[in-house]
Structure 1
Amino acid sequence: MFGLRAPEISTGHTGSYYAASVNRKTDYPRLEGDHTADVVVVGGGFTGANLALELAERGMDVALVEAHRIGWGASGRNGGQIIGGLGHDPERFVKTIGEEGVKAIYGMGLEGREIIAERVERYGIECDLKWGYCDVALKPRHMKQFAEWRDFEKQIGNPHTYRLLDRDELKHYVNSDRYLGGLYNDGNGHIHPLNLCIGEAAALEQLGGRIFEQSKVTDIEYGARTVIRTEQGSISAKRVVLAGNAYMGGLVPKLATRVLPSCSSVIGTEPLSEEMAREILPGDVAVCDPRTALDYFRLSGDNRLLFGGLSNYTGLEPRDLHGVMRKKLAAVYPQLADVRIDFAWSGWIGIGINRMPQLGHLSDNVSYIQAYSGHGVCPTHIMARITAEMLAGDPRRFDIMASIRHMPFPGGKLLRRPGLALGMAYYKLLDAL
């Protein structure tokens, strides 16, 4: 497609700010030879690392298998924004999951943030964790939506502070003339996601969990003990959980038809002076606007502005990624129009057609977790926990999520992307009106 290209695919980490500033580089062994385990988890992102860690904390013999490096996919490339909540509008599924199921989903949405805070404190993970978040309004109707949102969070028992901000009040947090106002909350925040994921994997290793990198799963043999195979080895396990999300490829066709890899991109500026950092983001908060193809941004631990967006369903990134993202950045902060861009990268997020995380079983002993629809830092952690609960004998919360039906994307491999890209163009047009 003219002006677009596929995101870089390599065995090592993409050329992101996160990879350049990681606390330690992982070098776990490849899977070679034949092994056994109680549970094998496939996919070394937030979902897989946290599920394996939850199981190791429960005393299970667990192995984590990653095709590239820990945090290689979306978990190590995202905007680093900690956002509570779980999916979109669980009331849509009340006939299936009941009022108690809806209530449980809202509770899980609150719990995800607490798991991250707990992980960071318990295992001493250095990942620039900061609290504070602003949704920002581009149109008057956004402010109305924010007011309704604030009231709803109070209604469902969210203990965190949600405060509506007018244009002048917002500038104490986000100092840009682009926005009409915003909604501040102290329950969300931001983090260095790759350092968090690698720290969680290190905690797993400390508890005796085995980790294999550069070990792409090529085949699954279902049975009383399921065997996952790579090019150089295999593991036979009582239970297997697939957690590769948008990067699973065609390993399981049923799952591939229900998740669409959508591209999102981020740039990282040169380190800003302390004066400039405080000028543009005096509240040091994470920021997001409410459009379909939204902008999101925040400061890194060393005062770089990490600015993301360009979400699209083609799965492709602009060929001139620096130029396109610089233009978007300058629309928010004109004073940074000529700032040096040190990093630019893209990656895939797994989109589900109903925007709810997908959990379920492929057989009696093979389960899966996928499709966070661009909202995964917190939900990955709670989905890992409820899956660990299920594997440990308490399936109640897992079964609520697993009972939600997830349709395959229409159009098959050839037509689903063009159709969805057209749909996104429609919603972008609505955003512009």
Structure 2
Amino acid sequence: MQSHADSYYAASAHSVLDHPALHDNLEVDVCIVGAGITGCSAALNLAERGYKVAVLDSHKVGWGASGRSGGQMIFGYACEQHTLKKLVGDTVGRQLWDISIEALTQMRQRIDKHNIHCDLANGHLHAAVKPRHMKELESWANSLRQDYGYDSLEMWSKEQVRGQMSTEAYLGGLYDSASGHVHPLNYTLGLAQAAAEAGAQFFEYTPATRIEQGEHPVVHTPHGVVRCRHLLLCGNAYLEGIAPDIERKIMPVGTYITATEPLGEERARQLIANNMAVADINFVLDYFRLSADHRLLFGGRVSYSGLDPVNLADSMGKRLRHVFPQLKGVKQAYTWGGYVGITMNRAPHFGRLNGNVYFAQGFSGHGIALTGMAGSLMADAIAGSAERFDLFSRIPHHDFPGGRLLRTPALVLAMTWYRLRDLL
């Protein structure tokens, strides 16, 4: 049995509660498979409404991407709004945009309401590495202001970026004061604690080995079954064979983060004066931010093979020092990774397998806020207000080509093209 990944987040978690494994048969209103942000959010929302809820996880609460990610809470979707509008049209595109902005507000409200200590900080910069990025960012900002009234954006010149960051790596960027960053594991654990206090039951080290659909779905586990009226599949990249029809729509992709030793407040703020989160806009991107105890958390690299890259810490360190060469000689205290679930079009994939089996997956690395909203929308649907959840079913999704065995090499070939484009 695996506990949390050996990460900075696990080492700095405020409290990791132990929930029992399921060793009995159980009957509930709602069974949730996956105790990440999506599952915990749904459990909280449903328990607060009086539903009897059981949450199952193969490992610990927050073990997957929810407890390992870069922690960047950003507006919109991974596919970007112009792509989403092409997929669903202007009207639905606008409704989906509004949901993404509401997700940021909801996240802040939950942190405040439930007193979740997760190092919430405001501000995010999309950074330009090359001249064409500046043109893309400016066009993007103008579209979001004019078409959606999103007025928290500022285009920054290279000098403005240098005023906030001690690096020559960027030509400018698009700053958003409404986005931000959090400690993702502490946020997830806080949601789970709030849900448990509201009456939801959590069972760790309890994998769902098989599901039966029908009027009363049944979830089989190694030592018991759960019968329910509604089933929520919130495992994303970690569903592991229990729902092939939707698993074919996503690809588990490895992504990685390294954390320096503590730098001290003065040195850390010399790197990022305003404590914003940063991500460049290459397809294979670098992203980074400061932790509450003044480390630099630097993410990037991807793996499509299911294997961690060779010499991972060294390669992450080289990327880190490319952006901040003044950190030469600084030790890396933690390096870790995990899977995110991406879709072919990078748009999220929500829907139903039938009337009472719901799923949300494929956040494509853009899920800190949206996963929480996904859980709330599924809870709303169960309670009888499904209109907003069902909007996401308007987004067309396709299987990754090649099935489970061949989709990885097919994707590697496609990603090689995007990596070459990043160099141009």
| Counterpart position of 1:337 | 328
Alignment partner of 1:429 out of 406, 420, 423: 420
Q: How does 1:342-361 map to 2 (within 5 A)?
A: 342-361=333-352
Deviation at 1:97, TM superposition (A): 4.5
Q: Does the aligned pair in 1 maintain the 2:303–2:309 contact within 8 Å? A: no
Alignment partner of 1:164 is 2:155: yes
Alignment partner of 1:275 is 2:266: yes
- Map Cα deviations across residues 164-194 of structure 1 (whole Å, 9 max, x no partner): 1111111222220111111111011110000
Aligned residue for 1:110, secondary structure, equals helix
Q: Does the aligned pair in 1 maintain the 2:94–2:148 contact within 8 Å? A: no
Cα distance change of structure 1 residues 95 and 338 upon mapping to structure 2, 3 Å threshold: closer
| Counterpart position of 1:417 | 408
- Tell me the distance in 1 between the aligned counterparts of 2:82 and 2:49: 33
Q: Does the aligned pair in 2 maintain the 1:329–1:337 contact within 8 Å? A: no
Long gaps (5+) in structure 2: none
Q: How does 1:175-194 map to 2 (within 5 A)?
A: 175-194=166-185
- Residue 121 of structure 1 aligns to which amino acid in structure 2? D
Alignment partner of 1:239 is 2:233: no
- Tell me the distance in 1 between the aligned counterparts of 2:86 and 2:137: 28
- Residue 281 of structure 1 aligns to which amino acid in structure 2? I
| Counterpart position of 1:30 | 21
Worse-superposed segment, 102-111 or 148-157: 148-157
- Tell me the distance in 2 between the aligned counterparts of 1:335 and 1:99: 46
- Tell me the distance in 2 between the aligned counterparts of 1:287 and 1:54: 31
- Tell me the distance in 2 between the aligned counterparts of 1:171 and 1:99: 37
Total equivalences in the alignment: 424
Q: How does 1:111-122 map to 2 (within 5 A)?
A: 111-122=102-113
Long gaps (5+) in structure 1: 1-9
Q: How does 1:21-420 map to 2 (within 5 A)?
A: 21-89=12-80, 97-420=88-411
- Tell me the distance in 1 between the aligned counterparts of 2:81 and 2:179: 20
- Map Cα deviations across residues 254-289 of structure 1 (whole Å, 9 max, x no partner): 122111000100000000022211111111110000
Worse-superposed segment, 21-30 or 306-315: 306-315
With structure 2 as the length reference, what TM-score do the two structures score?
A: 0.97
Deviation at 1:89, TM superposition (A): 4.7
- Tell me the distance in 1 between the aligned counterparts of 2:402 and 2:171: 40
Worse-superposed segment, 306-315 or 349-358: 306-315
Deviation at 1:96, TM superposition (A): 7.5
Cα distance change of structure 1 residues 19 and 158 upon mapping to structure 2, 3 Å threshold: farther
- Residue 161 of structure 1 aligns to which amino acid in structure 2? S
- Residue 76 of structure 2 aligns to which amino acid in structure 1? G
With structure 1 as the length reference, what TM-score do the two structures score?
A: 0.95
Aligned residue for 2:255, secondary structure, equals strand
